[in-house]
Structure 1
Amino acid sequence: MMFTVLRSLRWLLSLGKKIVRVAFGPTLLIVFLTLVSQVAALLAAFLPLKVVILLGSEGIPSYLPPDLAALGRDSLIGLLCLGTLGVFLLHLLAERVIGVATVSGAGRLLQRSHKMALFENQDDQARDAYLRFSRIVAAAVFVSLSLLLLTSFYPAMAVVQLVYLALVALVFIGVAHFHTGLEQRLANAPVKLTALLNFLSGLGFFVVFGFLVVDFLLFSHPSVMLGIVALLLGRQVLQKASIIVADTSVLFRQRAKLDALFFHGKVLMPVMTDEQNSLWSLMKPERRVEWVKPLLQAYTGYTDGPFICSWQETTVFNATSLQVKAGDDFYLFKLFAVNRNAAAIHESTLMLESLSELPALRLLGVTNVGALQCLIYEHPAKVGIEIQKPIPIVAELNARLMAIRPSESLQMLYRRSHPMLWQRLDLQVLANLEMAVDSSDDQDLFAQLLAAHPRIISTLQELPLYIHVPDIRGADLYWHPDGKAYFLNWTRWALEPLGAGWLVLEYWFNELAAVFERAKAASPELSQYPLEQVELAALCFALDQHCQRRQYRQALALTPQILERLEALESRSAKKKLKLEHG
């Protein structure tokens, strides 16, 4: 803990040297104006209290200076009201000038660093960092001056505040020393850190207030004026101390970017988060046994003895996979970084449905390794057959997925959590296609698509939902020696209308008919849905994808095929209706 604090202070000092050397004038102005703004805000809170006290008294309190008392009660009230307005306006003016000086100082720093654009919003981040640093300096100066001022007229109160701040620091260092995860959790959760600092600041204020009451009743009995000033200063000191800690934490989290922005010899390198470091640390061969063995004992028939862990490739970002051999049995362990917990939960939600027809490994358990989500699967064999031609395998797996009917509970859960295709394709989305209209033919297609929108939505809603797995790659597939194929990555599964998600590129789109026929053979109830309706879902899904990516020209190009399938469906429906009417 102490090492982290010292490292933060050392880096903050080096950043301060750079800022002062390049932008001394704007920095000094910001610090000065921040102090002016804080004092003005303090007076703007203090003077109304005096007005209320005067309004509630018949005369002028005796503790007021004779020069002010000579003005008379009404005149003094008017003067204090004008003073309150004046210091408030001064506070607003100071804040306005601080904003202008911040832009100037941050611009000078970026100009002197001679760096090209490194990341999005870098100018905004530079201004924010520069303002935070200036605010830290101003807060430190304010705290120091306030404590010196308190020492001069109310030393006991200054001692109480110093002891409270020192005690909080020592307690936090002690807790962090024995609870190693606390420091990282607070550093990675700024909202929690802010809440903790606000609580400690509020608690400190009550300590100051309690001491003031006790001192008035039992000990030195200072004047009322000194008590009010000491109470207001004490609250400001505690708030500014919280600002110093919070802003230092924010700057230190942005250290890699700020170093790259402001220092010549620094470049922007990708920084692994603590969660990622934890993930990759656990995957090191020497650390695997400490967490794999307990999970084997908890979720498999393994009791004790040697086991072998082998790395397995995965396409899931910030997730890893291990193939584990224990005796004659094989298992697959999937470990997810903290920022991928949602993906792990999403995958396990489907696996826990226990759909026997699902081309997936059998899930044995879902657990945590520290803060990381872990999924444990039964692996059918040590090594699968290398897939030379994945396209037929993917087609076969998709046919199996089309034949599976998700449970009503899963469908309801998914509908409540994700927008369905017919909801994503609302009129506002389709109206954006007008930006790609360049000719009268385009205008006709656009108008026909908008006119057909209600019928398209109705047609999509009639289709059953199926489990769709997007962006399947070779590393996501496992082919067992007995001929069975499996998907290994279920982090992005979705429920879509039958056919949605199928590629509409020429080869793949032509294959949809054959895949749908195989699905109907496995699930005869699908025979009631025409191929054109399934193809319409595939085209509408592609339309939605193009709209999301702002590829309006490609989206508009799908319109003739969509209208063609819709017309074929309506023609088929009309013929069927006519046939029924004529017996």
Structure 2
Amino acid sequence: MMKLQKNIKSTLGWFYSLGRKFYEVTPAATLTVLTANLFAQILLVLTFFLPIKVLILLGSDTVPKYYPLYLKSLQKAHLIVGLSLLALMCYLLYLGCEFIIAHHSRKGAQKLLKNSGKLALFENQHQLASQAYARFTRGLSAGTFAAASLAILLYIYPLLFSATLTYCALAYIGLVSLYNKSPKARRLLEHHHATTLNAMCSMGFLFVFACMIIDFLYLSPPKIFPALISLLLIRQGMSRLNILLQDIIALRSQHRQINALFFHNQQLIVDNGTYAEKITELLNKAQRDQWVAAAIKSVTSADLQLVSTQWHQIGRTDIYSFEAEFTSAQSPNIEKYLFKLFGEHSKSLAEQEYTLLKNTPHIPAPQFLGRAGIQNLTCHVFNFNNYRKLAHREIGTGVISINQRLLCIEPSESLVKRFSRSHQYLEQRLSRKIIENLHIISSQEQVADIERFSEQYDFLISVLADLPRQIISLDTTSDTLLIAVDGTTHVSHWASWKMEPLGSNWPVGEHATLRLGIETARQERKSLVDVPAAAVLLCAFTYAFERLCHRSNFSDAVALLPNMLEQLEHLKTPRNEQEQ
């Protein structure tokens, strides 16, 4: 783990290199944006400061004594109007400066990109370049403003200048010490640096304000007007220092893209499958054995001794899965468990899987024992006795088996409500705009089917909306399919489940199997007794149709229209309803 002071040193060096590059390539734009930023900050301070002075004048009988002589000679009403107009003028000038900043930031970024002479690296690179350029100049002007505030403070109130430097030094030493010595504090600072900086700048202002109060009560303070100006400078200076630090952090978090955009000898570095330092440490055998043993103890009371662990492939980014073997004093047999560790960027997936497993006990998955916390990460633990992965020739049958079992599971009412509050169903995603897109790519022979589909659109939506809901799995792959010793098929990963109308996600080429699955499901779900098979088949075709349209595969989507229209006609035929 790199020490915080080394991180700060390298970041400041990189920030300096970035500024030198900007100035060398676009000196005029850089100076213009920097100057406009500085003036904008000064004008914004005046915009908020002048109305306070107006309020003070409105509340006093005469012009206060601390006003300069040339202002005291004016009438009070004239002075109020003048200060109000000056505040309005400052705000209008501030808006003008913001316009100049936006315009010249775009020009500067475009010139920098042109100077780098590179191919297009990623989407929205011009927008990112403009934002980086504007953020850099804003941060630099904020730092300049803070430095100027300190210089003025040194001249008009040296005691507060010393108090400000003292607080900054103590805050730096305290942060570095906490970051380097406490892992918990390190994680807190890494995940909540904006909140921490805001709090520390506010505390700095309060610290300096307390020093001023002590000076006025027990020492030899200056006059009230310099003290008021000093207090304003400290508040604004701390605020601008906060802006500078947060802009530097934000730019540093995108340093790979920024380096690739602006520096000739820097290529775009992409994720090559290596793990973050924290994950690498956790996956090393020594630490892995420790957290696996801790996780099993948190979910079971059995006295188990770890024998071995091995990687379990599930093929999902930022999710790390291991099979572990244990022995116990109560049984001579080896017991196997599956551990899935969700990384920093997969916490929502961990919560999604946990929600499903806790609310749907009959889901085709290994027995879920519980979840454990591992260094602020989530680990799910499953019983993994007597499982193996499917052979390649078994995968097709396994997928059908999982879909058949999902047809038979009645989702809990609470889970259906939670999902409907969070996501759209198929009938809500299928809009008439899709039909308009089909007209664009259709041939003369396909126009008739598209027109018939358009005419029956409302009926289709009503059929889908009336169908019972079912759970579908988007994680059914060769890596996640398992078969138990009794021949039943399970899925080892359920983080990407969805709720859809009955028949969704069924292979469109398996009509006969779907019909058999419906008959089986009717025996287990009372809600399916009166559901026509044609409606479920229609949903299967419509789900495939919607997914093809989403991928802009309109030719294959149009090819499904005859099947969909056929099922719609069946649903409108009374004889068909009687047969069902």
| Same fold flag (TM > 0.5) | yes
Q: Deviations over 1:269-291 (max 9, x none)?
A: 12489985433432222321111
Q: Distance in 2 between matches of 1:275 and 1:186?
A: 21
Superposition deviation, residue 181 in structure 1:
4.1
Q: 1:375 aligns with which of 380, 389, 395?
A: 380
Q: Does 1:499 align with 2:496?
A: no
What's the counterpart of residue 345 of structure 1? 351
Q: Distance in 1 between matches of 2:272 and 2:424?
A: 33
Q: Distance in 1 between matches of 2:476 and 2:415?
A: 22
The DSSP-based 3-state class of the residue aligned with 1:474 is: coil
The DSSP-based 3-state class of the residue aligned with 2:386 is: coil
Q: Distance in 2 between matches of 1:204 and 1:168?
A: 9
Superposition deviation, residue 139 in structure 1:
1.9
What's the counterpart of residue 331 of structure 2? none
Q: Deviations over 1:290-332 (max 9, x none)?
A: 1111223333465354511011111222212111111311111
Q: Does 1:473 align with 2:477?
A: yes
Assess if the C-alpha contact under 8 Å between 1:34 and 1:95 holds in 2: yes
Assess if the C-alpha contact under 8 Å between 2:189 and 2:196 holds in 1: no
Q: Deviations over 1:494-518 (max 9, x none)?
A: 23222111122xx434543354455
Q: Does 1:544 align with 2:546?
A: yes
Task: Spell out the pairing of 1:419-434 with structure 2 (5 A cutoff).
Answer: 419-425=424-430, 427-430=431-434, 432-433=436-437
The DSSP-based 3-state class of the residue aligned with 2:573 is: helix
Q: Distance in 2 between matches of 1:513 and 1:60?
A: 90
Assess if the C-alpha contact under 8 Å between 1:113 and 1:264 holds in 2: yes
What's the counterpart of residue 195 of structure 2? 195
Q: Does 1:116 align with 2:122?
A: no
Q: 2:39 aligns with which of 36, 40, 44?
A: 36
Assess if the C-alpha contact under 8 Å between 2:37 and 2:98 holds in 1: yes
- For structure 1, which segment, 287-296 or 268-277, has the greater mean C-alpha deviation from structure 2 after superposition? 268-277
What's the counterpart of residue 571 of structure 1? 573
- For structure 1, which segment, 369-378 or 68-77, has the greater mean C-alpha deviation from structure 2 after superposition? 68-77
Superposition deviation, residue 435 in structure 1:
4.6
Q: Does 1:139 align with 2:159?
A: no
Assess if the C-alpha contact under 8 Å between 1:436 and 1:553 holds in 2: no
- Alpha-carbon spacing, 1:175–1:148, altered in 2? closer, same or farther (3 Å): same
What's the counterpart of residue 395 of structure 1? 400
Task: Spell out the pairing of 1:83-482 with structure 2 (5 A cutoff).
Answer: 83-187=86-190, 189=191, 192-271=192-271, 276-300=276-300, 303=303, 305-327=305-327, 328-353=334-359, 355-356=361-362, 358-381=363-386, 383=388, 386-425=391-430, 427-430=431-434, 432-433=436-437, 435-436=439-440, 438=442, 444-470=448-474, 472-482=476-486
The DSSP-based 3-state class of the residue aligned with 2:323 is: strand
- Alpha-carbon spacing, 1:83–1:255, altered in 2? closer, same or farther (3 Å): same
Q: Deviations over 1:233-271 (max 9, x none)?
A: 111111011011111110111111111111122111124
The DSSP-based 3-state class of the residue aligned with 2:370 is: strand
Q: Deviations over 1:489-541 (max 9, x none)?
A: 2222223222111122xx43454335445556777985644432221110121
Superposition deviation, residue 387 in structure 1:
4.2
The DSSP-based 3-state class of the residue aligned with 1:119 is: coil
- For structure 1, which segment, 32-41 or 542-551, has the greater mean C-alpha deviation from structure 2 after superposition? 542-551
Assess if the C-alpha contact under 8 Å between 1:129 and 1:251 holds in 2: yes
What amino acid does structure 2 have at the position aligned with 1:223? K
Assess if the C-alpha contact under 8 Å between 1:275 and 1:338 holds in 2: no
Assess if the C-alpha contact under 8 Å between 1:309 and 1:322 holds in 2: yes
Assess if the C-alpha contact under 8 Å between 1:313 and 1:321 holds in 2: yes
What's the counterpart of residue 18 of structure 2? 15
Assess if the C-alpha contact under 8 Å between 1:386 and 1:479 holds in 2: no
Assess if the C-alpha contact under 8 Å between 1:387 and 1:479 holds in 2: no
Q: Distance in 2 between matches of 1:75 and 1:528?
A: 83
Output the TM-score relative to the length of structure 1. 0.88
Q: CA RMSD in A?
A: 3.1
What amino acid does structure 2 have at the position aligned with 1:206? L
Assess if the C-alpha contact under 8 Å between 2:338 and 2:384 holds in 1: yes
- Alpha-carbon spacing, 1:32–1:297, altered in 2? closer, same or farther (3 Å): same
Superposition deviation, residue 446 in structure 1:
4.0
Identity percentage of aligned residues: 30
What amino acid does structure 1 have at the position aligned with 2:563? Q
What amino acid does structure 2 have at the position aligned with 1:325? E
Q: Deviations over 1:405-435 (max 9, x none)?
A: 333343333333332223333x555554465
Assess if the C-alpha contact under 8 Å between 1:385 and 1:481 holds in 2: no
The count of corresponding residues between Structure 1 and Structure 2 is: 571
For structure 1, the residue ranges without an aligned partner over 5 or more in a row are none
Superposition deviation, residue 95 in structure 1:
2.3
Q: Distance in 1 between matches of 2:37 and 2:97?
A: 7
- Alpha-carbon spacing, 1:442–1:136, altered in 2? closer, same or farther (3 Å): same
The DSSP-based 3-state class of the residue aligned with 1:268 is: coil
- For structure 1, which segment, 448-457 or 151-160, has the greater mean C-alpha deviation from structure 2 after superposition? 448-457
- Alpha-carbon spacing, 1:521–1:33, altered in 2? closer, same or farther (3 Å): closer
Assess if the C-alpha contact under 8 Å between 1:432 and 1:552 holds in 2: no
